[in-house]
Structures are given as structure tokens and as C-alpha cells.
Amino acid sequence: MAEQEKTNQPTSVDDSKSVSCYANFCRVTGSAEEMIIDFGMNAQPINAPQSSVEIQQRVVMNFYTAKRLLHALHVSVKRHEEIFGQLETDIRKRAIAPETKTE
């Protein structure tokens, strides 16, 4: 009970009504009081999109919650990289150059 009071986290979470979606696009905006995070699907992630990215989910939170989310994401990605190796976010560094044909 003392631990729950320190973190202000619920003892259980009901996710029976949750909805899942996939996003490869994220935009962060906000105001002095809130952070707004939009998620969507960019059908052309490598080249400049020919059409607009449709926002499918929007999460609005205060900056205290955003900071807790930042920490949780940092810890999660760090653990993943410790097991599977560093994640390279620059797609140009991950892409394999096409082989040139020599005759």
C-alpha cells in the first residue's frame, strides 16, 4: 500500500475496452498546460508523402504524465537495446545499398 501511495498508480488496470492501432508517424504539439501526441499511418515512409498522413489517434495529457511516459519509454527502449542491439532511427543508415552489376 505504501508503494502505491508513492507512485499514485492503480493496483490493477482494466484494458477490456482498449483499442489497438499501429502507427509509423507521430507528431507532438501542445500548449503550456497539455501535450498533444497525434499518431497515424504514413503509407510512404521512405519518400516525401504524396498525400497527407491521416491522424488515427490523438492522446492529450498533462506534462506530469508526459514526463512519466518519457521515463517509461526510455527504460523500455534501453532494455530492448541491451538485449537486441541498438536501434538506428535514421533509415538511410539502415538501408542496404543496391548491388551494382559488374560484367
Per-residue pLDDT tens digits for 59-83:
999 999 999 999 999 999 999 999 9
Domain count, the chain: 1
Q: Is residue 102 part of a domain?
A: no
Q: Is residue 38 part of a domain?
A: yes
Q: Is residue 9 part of a domain?
A: no
Report the alpha-carbon distance of residue 90 to residue 56 in Å, rounded. 24
pTM above 0.75, yes or no: no
Q: Is residue 103 part of a domain?
A: no
Q: Is residue 101 part of a domain?
A: no
**Sheet with 54-62, side-by-side order of all strands:** 25-30, 34-41, 54-62
Q: Is residue 57 part of a domain?
A: yes
Residues paired with 37 in a beta bridge: 28, 59
Q: Is residue 40 part of a domain?
A: yes
For the segment 39-64, the average pLDDT, to the nearest whole number, is 86
Residue 4 has pLDDT above 70, yes or no: no
Q: What percent of the chain has pLDDT over 70?
A: 84
